[in-house]
Amino acid sequence: MGKFALKTDMSPKGDQPAAIASLSEGINHKERFQTLLGVTGSGKTYTMAKVIEQLQRPALVLAHNKTLAAQLCSEFQEFFPDNAVSYFVSYYDYYQPEAYLPSTDTYIEKDASINEEIDKFRHAATANLLTRRDVIIVASVSCIYGLGSIEDYTALSRTIKVSDTIVRDKLLRHLTDMQYRRSSMEFKNGMFHVLGDTVEIFPPDRDSVFRLEFFGDEIDAISEVDSFTGELIKKLDTVTIFPAKHDVTTDEKIKRAVDGIRVDLGKRYIELKKTGRDLEAERIKTRTEYDIEILLETGYCSGIENYTRYLSGKAPGERPTSLMD
């Protein structure tokens, strides 16, 4: 297991040694709140890096905007080049929530532009958390928002080793369950394609591709290759494939969730009809039934976050699972 190793020519000066010792002691004594004071350029980030190295614990660093988070992430990456320093912020470049105007029976669909590079960083952050302990995540307030079920995300993940016996078609089905899309032309993060006895998987958290070579139903070789040139980066003995999306779940939970969604839909439909809001009633019924159909068919739908409570089995008002869990 990797350890935090701070790489720098600097050494603690002035009040920094006392601050490092005091902060470390406070954390060890489970003090919930501590404040590190210092003017700009006084070495606060370096001081916290020393605290992280001393405590050898995973760390979550919160920043109040994406720009500051990116700056802090860059600084921590310089301090810890051999450890996992990840960036976790909202992946939306643009977001317009869905809306309905009953006066004109106008439904405005949710419209959003997702930054694929930032989405990649988010997936790298969760993959690091699940596979190692020497992890620093620099995040915005996005880290407190719902992220899907940790249990389902880890349960659907799959570790594959050389010499494993795997029926190829079952593997392809499992990749689909993990929300990977099969493609023979376009090939980008969250996709896979099949070339004879070779399956190539493009994970959501990196720029390289995992290539699995079959000999019958046996994994003959695993390698990591460049996604653009196809050149070999390295041979692997084992690889863990994580889902292509964070909002993944099992067929059982989807069926259970659909039952709950239908019950609440029926109640809401009746409420709207009783108050004379017939247009709203029909709109919510049509939209929800469409989402249910897509969920049952593919395991995913646009706006799946609207159904997180049903899929997770949480009670009304209970906070969703987030990165902090």
The verdict on residue 8 lying in a domain is no
For residues 59 and 178, membership in a common domain is answered with no
* Least confident window among 30-39, 97-106, 128-137, 310-319: 97-106
Angle between helices 66-79 and 44-55 (to 10 degrees): 60
The verdict on residue 189 lying in a domain is yes
Q: What's the maximum distance between 2 C-alpha atoms anywhere in the chain?
A: 72
Residue 189 has pLDDT above 70, yes or no: yes
What's the predicted TM-score (pTM) here?
0.90
Residue 269 or residue 107, greater confidence: 269
Find out whether 166 and 160 touch, Cβ atoms under 8 Å: yes
The verdict on residue 3 lying in a domain is no
Task: Kindly report the number of other CB atoms within 10 A of residue 166's CB atom.
Answer: 17
pLDDT on residue 98:
79
Average pLDDT (41-65) is 96
Find out whether 186 and 160 touch, Cβ atoms under 8 Å: no
For residues 131 and 42, membership in a common domain is answered with yes
Average pLDDT (80-100) is 91
At residue 112 the predicted structure's pLDDT band, cuts being 50, 70 and 90, is confident
Using the 8-state DSSP alphabet, how is residue 246 labeled? Answer: S
Q: What's the pLDDT tens digit per position in 157-185?
A: 999 999 999 999 999 999 999 999 999 88
Angle between helices 16-28 and 44-55 (to 10 degrees): 40
The verdict on residue 1 lying in a domain is no
Task: List CB contacts of 102: < 8 A, sequence separation 6 or more.
Answer: 277, 279, 280, 283
Average pLDDT (303-323) is 90
The verdict on residue 227 lying in a domain is yes
For residues 52 and 138, membership in a common domain is answered with yes
Angle between helices 278-298 and 251-274 (to 10 degrees): 170
For residues 296 and 208, membership in a common domain is answered with no
pLDDT on residue 106:
82
For residues 201 and 275, membership in a common domain is answered with no
Residue 1 has pLDDT above 60, yes or no: no
The verdict on residue 303 lying in a domain is yes
Please state the domain count of the chain: 3
For residues 21 and 139, membership in a common domain is answered with yes
The verdict on residue 82 lying in a domain is yes
Range of the domain at 234: 158-241
Instruction: Using a pLDDT cut of 70, give the percent of the chain over it.
Output: 100
At residue 322 the predicted structure's pLDDT band, cuts being 50, 70 and 90, is very high
At residue 2 the predicted structure's pLDDT band, cuts being 50, 70 and 90, is confident
At residue 287 the predicted structure's pLDDT band, cuts being 50, 70 and 90, is very high
pLDDT on residue 108:
83
> CATH no. for residue 232?
3.30.2060.10
The verdict on residue 48 lying in a domain is yes
Average pLDDT (101-113) is 81
Q: Is 134 exposed, middle or buried (0-12, 13-18, 19+ CB in 10 A)?
A: buried
